Structure 1
């Protein structure tokens, strides 16, 4: 069960700095955030983790749920003796952040959800994607990522190939289990209970979580702000790191995260 799994993780930055947790997307690993760590590790203690079956975290038997994944993040914080954190996540990573802010409000100081949703599109289709990957492996998803993970003009770059290598290395069962967690995820009627400042960022050209879907998070939160990043799709933090880093830095500064 996802609530009990030990998540592989990496910590960078000063021990006495505020903690910024970075939650990755489906099919990527903690190195999705290399550009963010490079930009923030002098001011924050960045904590990255891998989803089950992704990167260094082993796949476990299901069912996977977003609440279970959020509980696994809490368990990681407890093991590291970390109390309250700023959280930023991409796609399912952003969904875990929403769940964390609602189910464990005492642990979250601020939330940034990038290319995420309170309810992802076409929930009935996710079990079918899980079945496809269980049968054919994550290679079955690679051809559909250009235009979805990143705009077509970004395809073929070294960074695009690095991201696709993460997908190819993802265990089928971990990917499939996370698909099933996405299919049952729906926090739309709970967003009003998020008690921390929320920044929701969309890639302007993202077909997976279009801007209007991402905007729901900001509009539903009592203290929410919405931004878009031009010429980017689903993995906008890797496509447009400077723009995303600027938005994230401003959000963290607005909630006093820079104070030691």
Structure 2
């Protein structure tokens, strides 16, 4: 079942389209810095994952193919045929799925802090069950060190709170369903099929999708580029936007 996604569209209507896919437990606000950098020359489509932000909550488990189908249904509603795509974490996994599913529609691909198979697949079903029972609150303390470094949080307490507020607002069923999609995702043996020009970006301090995990994506995709953001953890586009935006600018524009 396809979920109806909430989206925010910025930039000129006739400009090339860049779709931005968020990480688990965040919403369209994750990409404020990218909109500020690129909305003068690109039509930017930001979306909330199913069961996140203002998107529809669809009960039950889903797959990465389902999440990619949600995005394609959104783009069809918006009349977007060809697009470039940049996604963070699960958003980057959706990007890989799109590259395999609709290669003819994808111009450029940027995969940020993501994986072709996420670490410890069985743990995601366990997390999904715990979130369904307790909500997302128990995850908050672990986001420091995972989403961003403690040093960054000390320097930017307002931004850290803004990101954590997204997690607090995420419906438990939406978060849990996406956990199950992450646990089942594995395209390691299909990376060689991706034909889109691809950039991969890792946070040097990311414990969730380590630089080695991100590099393995680049190694598997023909002619893919690989970059590391110093001092950044799992949300480098939000915590080191200048570095990430420059890499995206060189790749997408």
TM-score class normalised by the smaller sequence: over 0.9
Separation in structure 1 between the aligned mates of residue 237 and residue 139 of structure 2, nearest angstrom: 20
Output aligned runs, 1:1-260, within 5 Å.
1=1, 4-156=2-154, 157-253=157-253
Local SS of the residue matching 1:38: helix
Unpaired runs of 5+ in structure 2?
Answer: none
Unpaired runs of 5+ in structure 1?
Answer: 254-260
Separation in structure 2 between the aligned mates of residue 116 and residue 234 of structure 1, nearest angstrom: 9
Aligned residues: 251
Does the 8 Å contact 1:196/1:223 carry over to 2?
Answer: no
CA drift of 1:223 comes to 2.3
Separation in structure 2 between the aligned mates of residue 220 and residue 27 of structure 1, nearest angstrom: 28
Separation in structure 1 between the aligned mates of residue 118 and residue 7 of structure 2, nearest angstrom: 26
Local SS of the residue matching 2:142: coil
Local SS of the residue matching 2:76: helix
138-147 or 150-159, which moves further after superposition?
Answer: 150-159
CA drift of 1:42 comes to 0.3
Structure 1-normalised TM-score? 0.95
Local SS of the residue matching 2:129: helix
CA drift of 1:102 comes to 0.3
Superposition RMSD in Å: 0.7
Local SS of the residue matching 1:82: coil
Q: Deviations over 1:26-84 (max 9, x none)?
A: 00001100000000000100000001121111211222110010011111111111101
Separation in structure 2 between the aligned mates of residue 26 and residue 132 of structure 1, nearest angstrom: 15
CA drift of 1:237 comes to 0.5
CA drift of 1:158 comes to 0.8
Separation in structure 2 between the aligned mates of residue 136 and residue 61 of structure 1, nearest angstrom: 16
Q: Which runs of 4+ in 1 moved over 2 A?
A: none
Local SS of the residue matching 2:50: coil
Separation in structure 2 between the aligned mates of residue 252 and residue 78 of structure 1, nearest angstrom: 21
Separation in structure 1 between the aligned mates of residue 14 and residue 223 of structure 2, nearest angstrom: 27
